[in-house]
Structure 1
Amino acid sequence: MIVVTGATGALNGATVEQLLNRIPAEQIGVSVRDVASAQHFADRGVRVRQGSYEDPAALRHSFEGAEQVLLVSSSDPHADAVSLHRNGIEAAVEAGARRILYTSHQGAGAESPFRPARDHAATEELLAGSGVAWTSLRNGFYAHSLGWLLGPWQQTGTITAPADGPVSWTDRADAATAAAVILAGDRTFEGPVTLTASHAVTFADIAAMASGISGHEVKRIVVDDEEWIAGKVAAGTPEAMARMTLTTFRAAREGRFAGVDPLLAELLQREPRTVADRIAAGI
Structure 2
Amino acid sequence: MVLAVTGSTGHVGGRVARALAPAVDRLVVRDASRAPRLDGDPEVVEAAYDDAAASERALRGVDVLFMVSGAESPVRRAQHRTFIEAAARAGVRHLVYTSFAGAAPDAVFTLGRDHHDAEEAVRGSGMAWTFLRDSFYADFFPMFADEEGVIRGPAGEGRVAAVARADVADVAVEVLRDPAAHTGATYTLTGPEAFTVREACERMTVALGRPFSYVPETLDEAYASRRRWSTEQWQLDAWVSTYLAFASGDLAAVSPDVERITGHPPRTLEQSLLGD
Structure 2-normalised TM-score?
0.87
Q: Deviations over 1:112-170 (max 9, x none)?
A: 23221111111111111111211111012112221222445xx46x6543234211111
Question: Shift in Å at residue 109 of structure 1?
Answer: 0.7
Which residue does 1:67 correspond to in 2?
Answer: 63
Structure 1 CA distance for aligned equivalents of residues 212 and 79 of structure 2: 42
Partner of 2:230: 238
Return the alpha-carbon distance in structure 1 between the equivalents of residues 105 and 144 of structure 2.
24
Q: Aligned to 1:85, what secondary structure does the other structure show?
A: helix
Residue in 2 aligned with 1:89? 84
**Separation in structure 2 between the aligned mates of residue 142 and residue 180 of structure 1, nearest angstrom:** 18
Q: How many residues align?
A: 270
Structure 2 counterpart SS, 1:40: coil
The gaps in structure 2 that reach 5 residues or longer are: none
- Whether the 8 Å CA contact 1:229–1:239 is kept in 2: the answer is no
**Aligned amino acid, residue 224 of structure 1:** T
Checking the alignment, whether the CA contact within 8 Å between 1:150 and 1:161 is kept in structure 2 is no
1:55 equivalent in alignment to 2:48: no
Match of 2:137 in 1: 142
> Measured at CA, do residues 8 and 59 of structure 1 come closer, stay the same or move farther in structure 2, by a change above 3 Å?
same
Offset at 1:264? 0.6
Q: How does 1:181-220 map to 2 (within 5 A)?
A: 181-185=174-178, 187-210=181-204, 213=207, 220=214
Determine the structure 2 residue equivalent to 1:116: 111
CA contact (8 A) 2:166 2:272 kept: no
State the AA in 2 paired with 1:4. V
1:127, 1:134 within 8 Å by CA — same for their partners in 2? yes
Q: What does residue 127 of structure 2 align with? A: 132
Q: Compared with structure 1, are the counterparts of its residues 132 and 34 closer, same or farther at alpha carbon in structure 2 (3 Å cutoff)? A: same
The DSSP-based 3-state class of the residue aligned with 1:270 is coil
Mark the CA change 1:189 to 1:243 in structure 2 (over 3 Å): closer, same or farther. Answer: same
State TM-score, norm by structure 1.
0.85
The residue type equivalent to 1:260 in the other structure is V
* Cα 1:46–1:129 shift into 2, 3 Å: same
Deviation, 1:171, is 0.8
Residues of 2 paired with 1:96 and 1:219: CA distance? 50
Select the residue among 14, 25, 30 that pairs with 1:28: 25
Choose 104-113 or 50-59, whichever is displaced more: 50-59
Partner of 2:73: 77
Task: Provide the residue aligned with 1:9 in structure 2.
Answer: 10
Identity of aligned residues (%): 30
Residue by residue, what CA displacement relative to the aligned partner does 1:178-237 show, whole Å, maximum 9, x if unpaired?
11110013632414221111211111322443466578986543222222333344xx42
1:247 equivalent to 2:241? Answer: yes
Q: Distance in 1 between matches of 2:93 and 2:30?
A: 24
Contact 2:163 2:266 in 1 (8 A): yes
Aligned to 1:163: 155
CA drift at 1:242? 4.2
Report the Cα distance in structure 2 between the residues aligned to 1:39 and 1:259, rounded to whole angstroms. 35
